[in-house]
Structure 1
Amino acid sequence: MEFKDLEIFQLVAEKGTVSEVAKEFNYVQSNITSRIQKLETQLNTSLFNRHRRGMSLTPEGKTLLAYSKEILILVEEMKKAVQSNEEPSGKLEVGTVETVYQLPTILSSFIKKYRKIDLSLFTGVTETLEEEVLNHKLDGAFVTEADFHPNLVSQEVFDEELVLISDMRDLTLEELKNEPFLCFSKGCGYRARLENWYKDQNIKPQKVMEFGTLETILRSVAMGLGVSFVPRSSVAHLVESGRIQCHILPKEYSKVKTVFIRRADCYLTATIEKFIETIEANKEAQNVF
């Protein structure tokens, strides 16, 4: 049994058609079909139901899919484990919430020092990023501190102060409670904090509006569309220019930590090790100032 056959099997299971997988691997369809048939012969069982709409997994196919995912993850771990500790290289896929203001400094320091690493960055909310790290889709992620899955370890990056932001109208905190709440989707740590404050204050927002990017939220707040809850560091420039204003909430809602999470059971590759070192160096530099 070849690892490539398992890769092909996994992709056919995901796509449901041989033709799409053939395009992705740049193979002829008959090559993909013969590899699947070879796998079925080796295992002496049918892995797919064939029908006019495509292919779907049999019960045996679903069992193999679970094992094949684990096998291919171990293969990838094996490759990473034999990298040179002196000069890390290869792919590094990292996730982040949108408001990590120190991230450009961390990434710039890392990329300049380790030029052989191909780094990709993905954004999302804390809950989604946690799932993607758990499912081996990301090597790690910058998220808001929470009660994480036991298979994850976290490393503190820095402390944040969250503030309620609004436009420049002269409104009291009591009046702001009635403004629409602009936020990211469910699973965002900042949203959860403000929702807890609302709940404890017996407030029910008149309207909750979800946005995909921080920039859109900030522009909408500045135009008077509603209020939001974001790190003070991410809006300092807008406060200085007089476009928005900040309102302080009690510490139990406003004090949060940004952490870097990764799987506890994965081999600590040279790449991840050097990335964590860069995070620590950035923390020390911030403490100096």
Structure 2
Amino acid sequence: MEIAQLRMFKTVHDLGSIVRAAEVLHCVPSNITARLKSLEREMGATLFFREGRGLRISPAGEVLLDYARKILALADEARHALGPGAAPSGPLRIGAIESSASGRLPRLLAKYHALYPQVCLELSTGNWTQLLDDIRHRRLDGAIVAVDVERQGLKRSVMYREDLILIAPTSDGPMRTAADLQGKAIFMWPAGCPYRFALEQWLLRHEQVQPITSIASYGAIVGCVSAGAGVALVPRGIYEQYRAGAGWQGHEFAELASIDNLFYWHESAGRHPARDAFVELLQAEFREPVTLFE
């Protein structure tokens, strides 16, 4: 059963003539006759009775007609939903690294839902390798990660930059060099985190060998620093989220360069109104630079 067959079937019923239906559908009558016979064979039932030069729908045809109307209406709805001017709707599966999901996306997700209530957005978090693998296997429509890497079948675009802020208890006083971290506990996400890698490279350049405690939670990392247990390097989004009443202060170092956060998607995914609207909102949200210290 094909959409074109059902459209021919309904048009013949509506006009009561194969010839008139052929004129409306811009095809020859013999094509419609052949397609209707094929449909009857597939359904195992006669759909029209011939009455003189006209046609009268059969009881079996009446049953199929009800389904044909619903199927054609859904097909038209799907076509409009994917059209150039269609409002975003349907499911949207987005992934993000924890710092982006916690520090950057909450406000944006609320705005997105208000603008596009017909979209059912699912947000999942994970490390960047997992998220890119999920896109490659079509488990996600797109993801935000803090690495810029080539991956076969994936496209990417920079969304925003994250400054890196060293947070330390206020009681530790000023932090001016890598040597000021000597002897202090450092709390970071596990190996593979690009922010951890930036810190490790910075310490290595200054010949500072420091053990790092791995914690896969920014809430726990910030809690440790707030309790005076040590220091951590966090992206600006996390700093801004937790800084109120945190009991610590932020320190910037010119050598700790900002890190791009990119949005990845599958190159063969084609047009996706809900995903495209999400990316446009991301770009608009972070178009203007954010001031770290007010």
Q: TM-score, normalised by structure 1?
A: 0.63
> Is 1:264 paired with 2:267?
yes
Aligned-pair identity (%): 24
Q: Assess, with a 3 A threshold, how the Cα gap between structure 1 residues 264 and 235 changes in structure 2: closer, same or farther.
A: same
SS of corresponding position for 1:278: helix
SS of corresponding position for 1:91: strand
Q: Assess, with a 3 A threshold, how the Cα gap between structure 1 residues 151 and 237 changes in structure 2: closer, same or farther.
A: closer
Tell me the CA shift for residue 242 of structure 1. 5.9
Partner of 2:160 in structure 1?
Answer: 158
Partner of 2:204 in structure 1?
Answer: 199
Tell me whether 238-247 or 264-273 shows the greater mean CA deviation. 238-247
SS of corresponding position for 1:169: helix
Kept in 2, the 8 Å contact 1:182–1:217? The answer is yes
Kept in 2, the 8 Å contact 1:111–1:117? The answer is yes
Alpha-carbon distance between aligned partners in 2 of 1:189 and 1:126, rounded to the nearest angstrom: 9
Alpha-carbon distance between aligned partners in 2 of 1:111 and 1:126, rounded to the nearest angstrom: 25
Partner of 1:89 in structure 2?
Answer: 89
RMSD of Structure 2 on Structure 1 (CA): 2.6
Tell me the CA shift for residue 277 of structure 1. 2.0
Tell me the CA shift for residue 239 of structure 1. 4.4
Which structure 1 segments of 5+ residues have no match? 1-79
Tell me the CA shift for residue 199 of structure 1. 2.3
Alpha-carbon distance between aligned partners in 2 of 1:179 and 1:140, rounded to the nearest angstrom: 38
> Is 1:282 paired with 2:294?
no
Tell me whether 169-178 or 272-281 shows the greater mean CA deviation. 169-178
Output the amino acid matched with 1:228. A
Tell me the CA shift for residue 83 of structure 1. 4.4
Alpha-carbon distance between aligned partners in 2 of 1:116 and 1:103, rounded to the nearest angstrom: 19
Alpha-carbon distance between aligned partners in 2 of 1:114 and 1:205, rounded to the nearest angstrom: 47
SS of corresponding position for 2:230: coil
Kindly report structure 1 stretches of 4+ aligned residues shifted beyond 6 Å: none
Q: TM-score, normalised by structure 2?
A: 0.62
> Is 1:182 paired with 2:184?
no
Q: Deviations over 1:76-125 (max 9, x none)?
A: xxxx9984231332211111122233312321222112212111111122
SS of corresponding position for 1:235: helix
Partner of 1:23 in structure 2?
Answer: none
SS of corresponding position for 1:178: coil
Which structure 2 segments of 5+ residues have no match? 1-77
> Is 1:223 paired with 2:227?
yes
Q: Deviations over 1:128-184 (max 9, x none)?
A: 322222232211111113223142222222222101111122355423133222111
Alpha-carbon distance between aligned partners in 1 of 2:279 and 2:122, rounded to the nearest angstrom: 16
> Is 1:254 paired with 2:247?
no
SS of corresponding position for 2:171: coil
Output the amino acid matched with 1:93. R
> Is 1:133 paired with 2:132?
no
Alpha-carbon distance between aligned partners in 2 of 1:212 and 1:110, rounded to the nearest angstrom: 28
Output the amino acid matched with 1:87. A
SS of corresponding position for 1:122: strand
Quick check: which has more Rg, 1 or 2? 2
Alpha-carbon distance between aligned partners in 2 of 1:169 and 1:282, rounded to the nearest angstrom: 35
Q: Assess, with a 3 A threshold, how the Cα gap between structure 1 residues 177 and 93 changes in structure 2: closer, same or farther.
A: farther
Kept in 1, the 8 Å contact 2:226–2:246? The answer is no
Output the amino acid matched with 1:141. A
Partner of 2:215 in structure 1?
Answer: 211
Kept in 1, the 8 Å contact 2:165–2:239? The answer is no
